[in-house]
Structures are given as C-alpha cells and as structure tokens.
A = this chain, B = another copy of it.
Amino acid sequence: MDKLKIAIVGATGVIGQQFVVALQDHPWFEISTLAASKKSAGKKYLEAIKNPETGAVRWFCDNQPKQDLLEMNVEDATKLNLGDIDVIFSAVESKVARELEPKYAKRKPVVSTASAFRYEKDVPILVPGVNSEHVKMIDVQRKKRGWKGFITTQPNCTTTGLVITLKPLKDIFSLKKVIMTSMQAISGGGRSPGVAALDIIENVIPYIPEEEEKVQLETKKILGKYVGNKIEASKIKVSCTCTRVNVIDGHMEAVFVSMGRDCTIEEVKKAFEKFGDDLKSLKLPSAPEKMIVVKDNPFRPQPRLDRNTYDGMATTVGRIRKDEALINGIKYVLLSHNTKMGAAKGAVFVTEYLKKAGYV
C-alpha cells in the first residue's frame, strides 16, 4: 500500500511538532511537506525550530524528530504546492486558519485543530466512535461550497474526554444534564508565551477565556444527530467551569450527569468499558486498545500517572458514584491527554477513520 502524502501546516509550533511525532513512523501516512509562516519558509526544519536569539532548538515533545525531517525544507504555507499532497493537517492559529484552510480545501482534505471552522454548520467536529456518522457532513460541505477537498475539525481539548464519556451514557441511559468542572493542564495554553510561571505556580486560575462556551457548544454539536443533511445539536443541557491547574499535561474533569433513567454504578462502569468496541474491527493504528479505561482505585485517575494510558489516546475514568443532587444522577472524574488524544494524535486518529471511510 502506498502511503498517503501528508502536509503539516504550522509545523514549527507545538501542535505542529506533535503532528511530526505522531506521523513520522505512521504505517499509512508519510510526511511529504512541512509548512509554516514566511519567517520560517526556506529554512531547514531544524533551523526553523531554533530560537532566533539564542540558537537553542525549541522542541516540545518527548519523542525526537527524525533526521530526514530535520533536514526537510520548510515551505511557505501561503504558497503550498497542493498537487502532491493527499491530506493537510492544519495546526495554525484560528485567524490564519480562517484564511488558509478554505484555500487548501478547494482541492484537498484538511484536518484542522484550529477552532476557525468548528462552529460552521456544514463542518463536522469528528471524534471516532462518538459521532462517526457526522462524517457525512463532508459530502454536504463539498456540495455546498463546491470544494474538491473539505475541512474537518478537532474539538477543543477539554471537549474530547467529555464527549467520549458522555456518548455511552447518552446511548444507554439517555442524558439530560451535564455539569462539569475542569482542572486543565498548562500545555493547553500553548507556548508563545503560554501560561506564565508566576501566574500558575502554587495556584489555580479559575478562568480560561472562551473555553466554557466552546466546550458547551461543541458537546451539544458532537452529541447531536445527523438528520437530513444537517447536524441537529443535542438538547442536553451542559454547564462548565474551566480552571487551570499546575499540571503539565492532562486535563482532569469532575463530571455530574443527570440521566433519563436510573442506573447502577456497575451499569455505568460497563457502559464505559464497552464503549468503542465496534471501532476495533477497523484496526486504526492510533486507536487505543480501549477508548475508556475505568479505574477502581478511588485515588485515580491522576494526570501525572494516567495521562499516557495507551499512549495518551485513552480517556481514563474513576470515582463513579451516585450523585445525590441530580435526578438519576451519576458523578465521575475523567482524565484526557490534552496534547495527544486532545490534539495532533487525535487528528491523526480521525484521519485514519476518514481513510477507512473512503474520504482520504
């Protein structure tokens, strides 16, 4: 099988680097183009990721990039030669995404971690196993916009773990209300300059601008139904408080849900553990062995100990208990790796699904 040729746009940034790591040994995909802003264009990748003042290499992932990638020339993202590219992974900021992504999408598939098009009606926010059927919006989108390619988007990193755990609850018990408080890692705040140490050390910050609105909106869209060429947002009521804590990677969320019918802890546990079983037959290379891992130890999940479960692709859940305040209430705690399943690797996972589904 010939590997699909991949362009990573925004390749020098944190998420871009995560794409490099997620793709450099991929069995189905092969990085053929690294693109970035004019400032980096024309340089070798190794040069482009150096701090211009100190000359120090700024590499933010645990895994190192391969030598041949370091020597690859970085292209100007505004002048990409799309001919030889099969899929474009877009890791640029939203403002830039709004300009570049439609240009690419005219001709090629774009899988984006930016929020630029996430809330457009004909653009799906895909999470394999949760709303695989939304993939059909791509056909609607192509038709409507007259594109040969398309844009599909990743959810906000805080939404990912939430919808993965809500989906089985919704399917089995029906879901009425969701109340969630997040304790988010600083890596979600990006890099330039990112969260200042003086702000977060020995501290909690109770506000992340626009985060709560995104999570509430995306959750309802992702859990919505594809009906008649449209995604009908779910009627579930969702309310969040999003905070930042002194953790490097891994978003923890304390979730309280009200369901359509009474259920036992054991039923909920089983629902979580079975979730994603139907994905297995697809043998997607980035799929975790289990989409949701349930911990019985009440002290788990913990960000530092559990974020890398199945290489950061599983959502870890613990502390499943009855909730006494909500009707048919259940509460639990979840942990999702915000820069793996919640970002680049999650986008690669989606693209694997798109390939199986015939869209790339």
Assess whether A179 is in contact with B326, with CB atoms less than 8 Å apart.
yes
Residue A78 at the B interface, CB < 8 A?
Answer: no
Assess whether A297 is in contact with B194, with CB atoms less than 8 Å apart.
no
A309 to chain B, nearest CB (A): 11
What is the number of residues of chain A that contact chain B, defined by CB distance less than 8 Å? 62
Residue A230 at the B interface, CB < 8 A?
Answer: no
Assess whether A196 is in contact with B198, with CB atoms less than 8 Å apart.
no
When distances are taken between beta carbons in the complex, the residues of chain B under 8 Å from A333 are 206, 241, 243
Residue A216 at the B interface, CB < 8 A?
Answer: yes
Return the chain B residue nearest A191 by Cβ.
B198
Assess whether B57 is in contact with A206, with CB atoms less than 8 Å apart.
no
In the complex, A246 Cα to B245 Cα: how many Å? 8
Cβ < 8 Å to B, chain A residues 214-247: 216, 237-239, 241, 243, 245-247
When distances are taken between beta carbons in the complex, the residues of chain B under 8 Å from A202 are 201-202, 246-248, 303-304
Sample (6) of A-B pairs whose CB atoms are under 8 Å apart? A195-B197, A202-B248, A202-B303, A206-B299, A239-B331, A256-B256
- Interface residues, chain A, with chain B CB atoms under 8 Å away: 54, 56-57, 60, 62, 177-179, 181, 183, 186-187, 189, 191, 193-207, 209, 216, 237-239, 241, 243, 245-248, 252, 254, 256, 297-305, 308, 318-319, 323-326, 329, 331, 333
